[in-house]
């Protein structure tokens, strides 16, 4: 509920006052009847107030009419207000937070066309087709258009017929484009995925650096930069490079409460993935991330053989293969995309129900960004990460080999440590994630594996000492497997070849199984007691941190790795499969979905552009009897009510 607000209005020389009981209902008209009040001292303040109120009133009307939503999410209203008032804004909002409306609505409310800079062609096309469905005059300029099509859009812009124009930064910086933009009224510039100016992130785009000129060439056009990347370094780089020193900053909370985070030890990862898909996401769209191109292809093929619609995506595929696979992922209902990190930036699909990682991401930023592609629609979604000793070793080695300056390496190392720390903690994952981004939270969230099934720890002091001694006694030249052979007193040739059967650690570790020893070594590496040699064989070396432990001055508690059976967390956190909640009329639900698919095909747009699942679910539950009732459902604006209302009503009637 929106609280009551006091509204001043200035008419002629008199200020009017109204206490406005805003209920957020779509159909209320504003202004209500007004009372005059004698407030002559502060006419100016009242006038300023009036501009904002009118702007917001307008914004709310647009939200209802065009997008069919009832109220703004925080802090959308404030951002929109800032832009309508002519100010600049820097917006950090998690994926799915609703960034697009923050510039789309001011572009509609202000005079002139809003120019949106977006790095990806696919994203522009999706946004523009979704805007067309909502009846907005939007277009994009990019390399897929021929000269005539470009010309037609330029003419439309000059005739002031466009509300929104999307383009890539390469296009914007061309003389021709800049000259054109200078000749027409502009409502605003929106710089989407603004972290692309940052050289730290993996999405860096050199053309973004030139967007600094906007400030000089268009000093009176408000600018809004948007990103979902949280870290302070990136944020400062955005401000500096885009000259947004005077912009208001809006930093929304980063929590994604609908995503259930699970981080599990690898133990036959293919079977783990298969079980996860079969039991929790048998007919959902999702993304499976792998580190290498080859692994994405093999995994996709194998998933196909298991009956899933799985496609591969990586930078080694041709542009047309990539575009084709991406289009299928967006348009079809339940495609599993098996991909490297090349996939995902700007993927706007709201109903991705899961993101699974078969390899560990290098940083928490990357992990959060990738998992953040799940559940944009706010419905329950799962993030599953499978990791193991080999991931830790491989990433540690990659880090060591990376080129970059010492400073850069130190930062990378720090980031990797944080990621490993997240995997190994026994406390709430969400709390740790948000703490990393500088947000404090209650210590349990109730929607992560650690909260749903608390992990156990054990006093590993003695075992860790033994493991470290084994590393030391064998000369810091051997990898985990050999060390475990020695500890468990094995008779393999290699032990005798190096005469390790005479060491005093030989055979001292029979109390732990091979897997338990792997767990000890993994955690010692993850916690920096041991480092991994760069020779490619994974030899372990002692680090400074070992000393107090070896001298008996500290103790060490380690996570007890569950044998990977189906855990309680998995059972409890089941994401609802595609809104097929038990109490829905299944027949009607399927019929609504089929109608949506047919319309989507006719209009050549993804199904969610017609209606989101949540809108379909509301249709199914509320069964509106006429257009007016249908128009009140969230997600149905005027244009969609006109266009699709009658066919959906007819279908609902058939199912009475």
Residues lying near ligand ADP in the complex (CB under 6 A)? 69, 72-73, 76, 93, 95-101, 348, 350, 376-377, 612
Q: Is 448 in the site for Zn ion (CB under 5 A)?
A: yes
The whole-angstrom separation of Cα 251 and Cα 228 is 10
Minimal distance, residue 430 CB to Zn ion, in Å: 5
The binder of 448, among ligand ADP, Zn ion, none, by C-beta within 5 to 8 A per type, is: Zn ion
Minimal distance, residue 630 CB to Zn ion, in Å: 39
160-187 burial by CB neighbour count: b if 16+ within 10 A, else e?
Answer: eebbbbbbbbbbbbeeebeebbeebebb
Q: Which range binds Zn ion by CB under 5 A, 174-182, 246-254, 448-456, 535-543?
A: 448-456
The whole-angstrom separation of Cα 612 and Cα 230 is 27
Phi, psi of 459 (to 5 degrees): -80, 105
The whole-angstrom separation of Cα 136 and Cα 162 is 9
- Tell me whether strands 352-357 and 336-339 are parallel, antiparallel or unpaired: unpaired
Tell me 195's DSSP state: G
Q: Are the C-beta atoms of 55 and 84 separated by less than 8 Å?
A: yes
The binder of 465, among ligand ADP, Zn ion, none, by C-beta within 5 to 8 A per type, is: none
Q: Which range binds Zn ion by CB under 5 A, 290-298, 323-331, 443-451, 481-489?
A: 443-451
- Using DSSP, state whether 421 is helix, strand or coil: helix
- Tell me whether strands 530-532 and 540-542 are parallel, antiparallel or unpaired: antiparallel
- By C-beta, is 224 or 300 nearer to ligand ADP? 224
**Residue 54: partners with Cβ closer than 8 Å, 6 or more residues away:** none
- By C-beta, is 260 or 338 nearer to Zn ion? 260
Minimal distance, residue 449 CB to Zn ion, in Å: 8
**Residue 268: partners with Cβ closer than 8 Å, 6 or more residues away:** 564
Q: Which range binds Zn ion by CB under 5 A, 150-158, 355-363, 401-409, 441-449?
A: 441-449
Minimal distance, residue 439 CB to ligand ADP, in Å: 17
Nearest residue to ligand ADP by CB is 98
The binder of 18, among ligand ADP, Zn ion, none, by C-beta within 5 to 8 A per type, is: none
Minimal distance, residue 608 CB to ligand ADP, in Å: 7
Closest alpha carbon to 104 in 94, 90, 114:
114
Minimal distance, residue 451 CB to Zn ion, in Å: 3
Q: Is 422 in the site for Zn ion (CB under 5 A)?
A: no
- By C-beta, is 136 or 464 nearer to ligand ADP? 136
- By C-beta, is 374 or 451 nearer to ligand ADP? 374
- By C-beta, is 277 or 374 nearer to ligand ADP? 374
- By C-beta, is 430 or 612 nearer to Zn ion? 430
Binding mask 449-488 toward Zn ion (x if CB under 5 A, else -) reads: --x-------------------------------------
Burial class (CB in 10 A: 0-12, 13-18, 19+), 478: buried
- By C-beta, is 97 or 286 nearer to ligand ADP? 97
- By C-beta, is 350 or 421 nearer to Zn ion? 421
Q: Are the C-beta atoms of 288 and 339 separated by less than 8 Å?
A: yes
- By C-beta, is 260 or 526 nearer to Zn ion? 260
Tokens representing 649 are 């009503």
Tokens representing 577 are 């499969």
- By C-beta, is 437 or 517 nearer to Zn ion? 437
| Residues β-bridged to residue 558 | 458
The whole-angstrom separation of Cα 406 and Cα 410 is 6
Minimal distance, residue 346 CB to ligand ADP, in Å: 9
The binder of 428, among Zn ion, ligand ADP, none, by C-beta within 5 to 8 A per type, is: Zn ion
Return left, alpha or beta for 554; rule: phi > 0 is left, psi -120 to 50 is alpha, else beta.
beta
Minimal distance, residue 251 CB to ligand ADP, in Å: 13
Minimal distance, residue 366 CB to Zn ion, in Å: 20
Phi, psi of 244 (to 5 degrees): -110, 30
The whole-angstrom separation of Cα 94 and Cα 259 is 12
- By C-beta, is 117 or 448 nearer to Zn ion? 448
Minimal distance, residue 330 CB to ligand ADP, in Å: 13
- Using DSSP, state whether 448 is helix, strand or coil: strand
Minimal distance, residue 262 CB to Zn ion, in Å: 10
The binder of 203, among Zn ion, ligand ADP, none, by C-beta within 5 to 8 A per type, is: none
The binder of 451, among Zn ion, ligand ADP, none, by C-beta within 5 to 8 A per type, is: Zn ion
- By C-beta, is 93 or 225 nearer to ligand ADP? 93
- Which member of 335, 339, 428, 468 binds Zn ion (CB under 5 A)? 428
The binder of 99, among Zn ion, ligand ADP, none, by C-beta within 5 to 8 A per type, is: ligand ADP
- Using DSSP, state whether 134 is helix, strand or coil: coil
Q: Which range binds Zn ion by CB under 5 A, 218-226, 428-436, 491-499, 638-646?
A: 428-436
- Which member of 430, 465, 482, 612 binds Zn ion (CB under 5 A)? 430
Minimal distance, residue 379 CB to ligand ADP, in Å: 11
Q: Is 433 in the site for Zn ion (CB under 5 A)?
A: no
Q: Are the C-beta atoms of 375 and 381 separated by less than 8 Å?
A: yes
Burial class (CB in 10 A: 0-12, 13-18, 19+), 333: middle
Burial class (CB in 10 A: 0-12, 13-18, 19+), 78: middle
List, as one string, the DSSP characters of 519-568: HHHHHHHHTTSEEE-TTSS--EEE-TTHHHHHTTS---EEEEPPPSS--H
Minimal distance, residue 524 CB to ligand ADP, in Å: 39
Q: How many residues bind Zn ion (CB under 5 A)?
A: 5
- By C-beta, is 97 or 269 nearer to ligand ADP? 97
Q: Which residues bind to Zn ion, rule: CB under 5 A?
A: 428, 430, 445, 448, 451
């Amino acid at each position: 509920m929106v609280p009551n607000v006091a509204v001043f209005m200035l008419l002629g020389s008199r200020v009017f006052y109204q206490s406005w009981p805003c209920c957020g209902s779509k159909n209320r008209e504003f202004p209500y009847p007004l009372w005059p009040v004698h407030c002559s001292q502060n006419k100016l303040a009242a006038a300023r107030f009036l501009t904002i109120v009118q702007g917001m009133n307008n914004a709310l009307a647009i939200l209802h009419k065009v997008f069919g939503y009832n109220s703004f999410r925080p802090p959308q209203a404030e951002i929109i207000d800032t832009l309508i008032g002519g100010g600049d804004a820097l917006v950090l909002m998690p994926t799915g937070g609703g960034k697009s409306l923050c510039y789309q609505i001011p572009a509609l409310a202000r005079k002139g066309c809003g120019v949106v800079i977006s790095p990806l062609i696919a994203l522009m096309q999706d946004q523009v087709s979704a805007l067309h469905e909502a009846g907005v005059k939007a277009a994009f300029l990019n390399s897929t258009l021929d000269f005539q099509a470009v010309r037609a859009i330029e003419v439309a812009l000059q005739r002031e017929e466009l509300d929104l124009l999307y383009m890539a930064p390469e296009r914007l910086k061309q003389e021709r484009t800049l000259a054109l933009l200078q000749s027409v009224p502009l409502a605003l510039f929106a710089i989407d995925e603004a972290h692309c100016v940052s050289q730290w992130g993996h999405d860096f785009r050199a053309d973004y650096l030139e967007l600094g000129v906007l400030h000089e060439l268009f000093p009176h056009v408000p600018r809004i930069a948007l990103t979902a990347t949280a870290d302070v370094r990136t944020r400062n780089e955005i401000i500096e490079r885009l000259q947004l020193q005077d912009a208001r900053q809006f930093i929304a909370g980063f929590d994604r409460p609908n995503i259930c985070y699970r981080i599990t030890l690898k133990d036959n990862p293919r079977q783990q993935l298969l079980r996860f898909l079969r039991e929790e996401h048998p007919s959902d769209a999702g993304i499976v991330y792998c580190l290498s191109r080859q692994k994405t292809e093999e995994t996709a093929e194998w998933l196909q053989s298991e009956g899933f619609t799985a496609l591969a995506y990586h930078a080694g595929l041709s542009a047309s293969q990539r575009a084709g696979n991406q289009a299928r992922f967006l348009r079809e209902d339940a495609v599993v995309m098996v991909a490297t990190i090349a996939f995902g930036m700007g993927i706007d699909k709201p109903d991705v129900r899961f993101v699974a990682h078969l390899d560990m991401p290098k940083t928490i930023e990357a992990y959060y960004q990738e998992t953040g592609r799940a559940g944009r629609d706010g419905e329950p979604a799962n993030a599953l990460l499978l990791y193991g000793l080999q991931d830790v070793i491989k990433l540690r080695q990659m880090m060591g080999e990376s080129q970059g300056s010492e400073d850069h390496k130190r930062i990378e190392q720090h980031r990797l440590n944080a990621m490993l720390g997240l995997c190994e903690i026994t406390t709430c994952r969400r709390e740790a994630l948000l703490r990393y981004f500088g947000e404090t939270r209650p210590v349990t969230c109730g929607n992560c594996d650690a909260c749903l099934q608390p992990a156990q720890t054990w006093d590993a002091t003695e075992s860790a000492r033994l493991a470290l001694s084994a590393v030391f006694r064998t000369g810091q030249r051997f990898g985990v497997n050999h060390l475990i052979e020695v500890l468990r007193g094995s008779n393999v040739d290699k032990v005798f070849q190096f005469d390790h059967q005479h060491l005093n650690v030989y055979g001292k570790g029979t109390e732990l199984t091979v897997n338990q020893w792997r767990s000890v070594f993994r955690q010692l590496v993850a916690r920096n007691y041991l480092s991994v040699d760069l020779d490619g064989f994974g030899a372990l070396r002692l680090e400074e941190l070992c000393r107090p432990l070896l001298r008996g001055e500290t103790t060490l508690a380690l996570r007890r790795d569950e044998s990977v059976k189906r855990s309680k967390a998995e059972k409890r956190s089941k994401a609802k499969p595609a809104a097929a909640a038990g109490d829905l009329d299944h027949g009607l639900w399927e019929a609504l979905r089929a109608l949506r698919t047919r319309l989507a095909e006719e209009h050549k747009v993804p199904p969610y552009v017609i209606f989101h699942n949540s809108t379909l679910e509301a249709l199914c539950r509320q069964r509106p009897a006429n257009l007016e009732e249908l128009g009140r459902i969230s997600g149905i604006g005027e244009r969609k009510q006109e266009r699709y209302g009658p066919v959906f009503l007819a279908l609902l009637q058939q199912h009475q």
